[in-house]
Amino acid sequence: MAQVSFVDTTMRDAHQSLLATRITTPELVSIASLVDTVGYHAVEMWGGATYDAAVRYLDEDPWDRLDKLREKFTNTKIQMLLRGQNLLGYRNYADDVVELFVKTLARHGMDIVRMFDALNDFRNLEKAAACVRKEKMHLQIALSYTVSPVHSVQYFVNLADTAMELGADSICIKDMAGLLTPGVARELVKAIKENHDIPLEIHSHFSTGLADMSYMAAAEAGADILDTAMSALALGTSQPAVEAMWTALSDLGLASPPDYSLLRHINRHFAKVRDNHRGNDSVLQTIMPEILENQIPGGMFSNLLSQLKNQRVSHLLPQVLEEVPRVREDLGYPPLVTPTSQIVGVQAVLNTISGERYKLVTKEVERYVKGYYGRPPAGISQYLRDRILGDETPLECRAADLIPAEVESSREQIGLLAKTDEDLLTYLLLGEVGKSFLLRKYRSSLGVDFSLAEKHSEDLAVYPI
Contact residues for 315 (Cβ-Cβ < 8 A; gap 6+): none
Q: 273 and 299, same structural domain?
A: no
The mean pLDDT of the chain is 93
d(CA 199, CA 68): 28
What one-letter code names the amino acid at 435?
K
Q: Is residue 222 part of a domain?
A: yes
Provide the 3-class DSSP secondary structure of residue 129. helix
Spatial contact of 282 and 18, defined as CB atoms under 8 Å apart: yes
Q: 336 and 247, same structural domain?
A: no
Q: 259 and 126, same structural domain?
A: yes
Q: 338 and 250, same structural domain?
A: no
Spatial contact of 280 and 22, defined as CB atoms under 8 Å apart: yes
Closest CA to 48 of 70, 79, 24: 79
| Domain-ending residue, one of 280, 313, 329 | 280
What CATH number did the domain enclosing 373 receive? Answer: 1.10.472.90
Q: What is the dihedral of CA 122, 128, 133, 134, to 10 degrees?
A: 140
Rounded to an integer, the average pLDDT of 420-441 is: 97
What confidence tier does 294 reach under pLDDT thresholds 50, 70, 90? Answer: confident
Provide the 3-class DSSP secondary structure of residue 387. helix
What is the structure's pLDDT at 462? 35
Q: 307 and 271, same structural domain?
A: no
E-strand spans in 262-321? none
Higher pLDDT, 365 or 455: 365
Q: What is the dihedral of CA 422, 424, 428, 429, to 10 degrees?
A: 20
- Expressed as residue numbers, the domain containing 447 is 406-456
Rounded to an integer, the average pLDDT of 58-84 is: 98
Rounded to an integer, the average pLDDT of 374-395 is: 95
- 321-350 pLDDT, tens per residue? 999 999 999 999 999 988 899 999 999 999
What confidence tier does 465 reach under pLDDT thresholds 50, 70, 90? Answer: very low
Q: Is residue 14 part of a domain?
A: yes
Bond prior to 339 in cis (omega within 30° of 0): yes
Closest CA to 64 of 90, 38, 28: 28
- 125-159 pLDDT, tens per residue? 999 999 999 999 999 999 999 999 999 999 999 99
d(CA 308, CA 72): 43
Lowest mean pLDDT segment, chosen from 95-109, 251-265, 382-396, 446-460: 446-460
Backbone dihedral angles phi then psi of residue 140, each to the nearest 5 degrees: -110, 125
d(CA 285, CA 237): 8
> In this model, does residue 458 exceed pLDDT 50?
no
What confidence tier does 447 reach under pLDDT thresholds 50, 70, 90? Answer: low
Spatial contact of 133 and 349, defined as CB atoms under 8 Å apart: no
Q: 309 and 385, same structural domain?
A: yes
What is the structure's pLDDT at 288? 85
What confidence tier does 455 reach under pLDDT thresholds 50, 70, 90? Answer: very low
Q: 253 and 331, same structural domain?
A: no
- 182-222 pLDDT, tens per residue? 999 999 999 999 999 999 999 999 999 999 999 999 999 99
- With 0-12 CB in 10 A as exposed, 13-18 as middle and 19+ as buried, what is 370? middle
What is the structure's pLDDT at 135? 99
- 310-320 pLDDT, tens per residue? 889 989 999 99
> In this model, does residue 448 exceed pLDDT 70?
no
- With 0-12 CB in 10 A as exposed, 13-18 as middle and 19+ as buried, what is 382? exposed
| Domain-ending residue, one of 383, 401, 419 | 401
Q: Is residue 462 part of a domain?
A: no
Q: Is residue 19 part of a domain?
A: yes
Q: 252 and 109, same structural domain?
A: yes
| Domain-ending residue, one of 236, 257, 280 | 280
What is the structure's pLDDT at 459? 44
Contact residues for 395 (Cβ-Cβ < 8 A; gap 6+): 370, 371, 372, 402
Interaxial angle between packed helices 407-414 and 421-446, expressed in degrees from 0 to 180 and rounded to the nearest 10: 10
What is the structure's pLDDT at 309? 86
Closest CA to 289 of 302, 298, 280, 300: 298
d(CA 264, CA 31): 12
Spatial contact of 183 and 213, defined as CB atoms under 8 Å apart: no
Lowest mean pLDDT segment, chosen from 2-11, 92-101, 278-287: 278-287
Rounded to an integer, the average pLDDT of 5-24 is: 95
Q: What percent of the chain has pLDDT over 90?
A: 84
